[in-house]
Structure 1
Amino acid sequence: MDDTVTITSGAMRAEIALLGAELLSLRLGGHELLWEADAASWSGTSPILFPVIGRVNDGVVRIAGKPYPMPPHGFARQAKFTIEKRASDQVVLVRAENDESLRSYPFRFVLKVTYFLAAGGLQITFDVINTGEDALPYAIGFHPGFRWPFAQGDKDGYSLALPTREKVSGSRLTSAGLMDPARYEVPLADGRLALTEELFYAGALCLLDLDCTSASYVSPVGSSIELSWQNFSHLALWAKTDAPFLCIQPWTGYSDPLGFDKDMFEKPAMHLLEPAAQRQHGISVQFSS
């Protein structure tokens, strides 16, 4: 059985790994938008983060007084998905709990990921289904690494445009990968955040509780990668010095706050799904030249 799936529509093409249901390649408008993974810098391309985002304090989540080991960004990115449905321009991948996941996360669930090439771009949906008898706490995020630069030239002059009229609150992660409680106003100029390597010297930048549902990653020549999302509240930005990528990540939650040692149900920004309930989160990626 192949380890990847390729879908196409006209000149659009996407390649997806069954491991983690991870998007490996995305060609829109004749351009490859994702960076080529390099283990020396970062081995990922677009991992899916579930059922937690970021790191948890002491490497464990606590549920009903019992600690459960949880890897950074959860276990979905290392889980093998199966194909539920496949067409030339679409694939639906699915993963349910198993004995291994229950050792980290004692809940029954189905995570369904759909990739669909349509309307000039890639549509992605994440369906979280609670198949158990108890409420399901979870967070989900998408961690795509886009090329930086994606147009000709160097990294200078790129920006992130946010269609917001409100001030944007930001936070950083501590050296241990936990959420710093300090908040500050993100410096936007006419709705744009200038992207520089210096912006990421202190690590990832988390834009919290956004009132907008889209962002444009804009090159100096005006071409752009357009992201829009549904049922995501936060946007995390991350890059590494001298590595040619920028991660623009819609998140529903974030890392444990510094010093957090309470039950997973009490963690800030977690979603709670009642038994037999289902919730969908969506992302669209388009390219404009």
Structure 2
Amino acid sequence: MKHINWFPGHMAKTIKTLKQQLSQTDIIVELLDARIPFSSRNPIIDTLIQEKHFHIIALTKTDLADETITKEWLTHLKKSHKTVVAINSLKGKGVKQLLSICKQFSDTKKAQKRFYITKVMICGIPNVGKSELINKLAKKKANQVQNKPGVTKKTKGFLLDLHMELIDTPGILWPKLDNQATAKKLALTKSIKETITEDSQLADWLLSFLKDYYPDRLKTRYKLNDINKHNDILIEDISYSMKWLTKNNTPNEEKTTRQLIEDFQKQRFGLISLDRISQL
């Protein structure tokens, strides 16, 4: 089975740039995908955060995640981090709260030094929602937004007002994805380039996960009665049930595995979270 890993050259350059810029940064807003709050946490960012930094964790894409699981993660994260917010940049949910927290910090600095400009760095893995958040905070389309990783490749600065500057950074992963379950979650949520992965291995992992955590949704989506089977057999059952067949009326496994992934990515199973606190 193919080992999933993605660390293009621009990511290594970005890490070097971040190290240089962090000495002048006041606030670090670390974005985590609400569907995978643990798997989307880059260990490199942890090593870059210093004691002087005001560290905010923001769960993004909450509109795509299982609300019950998101609440559990918020409670868990708040035990170790004082400032955690949940946001939906497209609808603006939680963005005002985040901006208010940053402004409070900025006002404190301004009171100490009249012309001080608070620098807020937005960072996270690829396709976690950095550009959408920047656009919402800046109230304009300052950044290109696409549902694929690697769109932003250079750090950019945006002046929010006379006393606060936003710094957008390219999404970065870490050099070695040793945990392949994490790698598959990153791939399923489109934080890894699609050409790096194989549909069959992602679909196999996803199918096992759905059987364990969302069995009723799996049954309903594909009109299945029994899902307690080996995944290879279950893929065939889904192919027959959904009529995803070859010209010879045999299961079209390639189409079925691709469709399984797309059904997750397009929320056809409903809102699903892939990380569980119980898995830590």
Q: TM-score, normalized by length of structure 2?
A: 0.26
Hey, which of these two has a bigger chunk of strand by percent?
1
Q: Max radius of gyration: which structure?
A: 2
Q: TM-score, normalized by length of structure 1?
A: 0.25
Hey, which of these two has a bigger chunk of helix by percent?
2
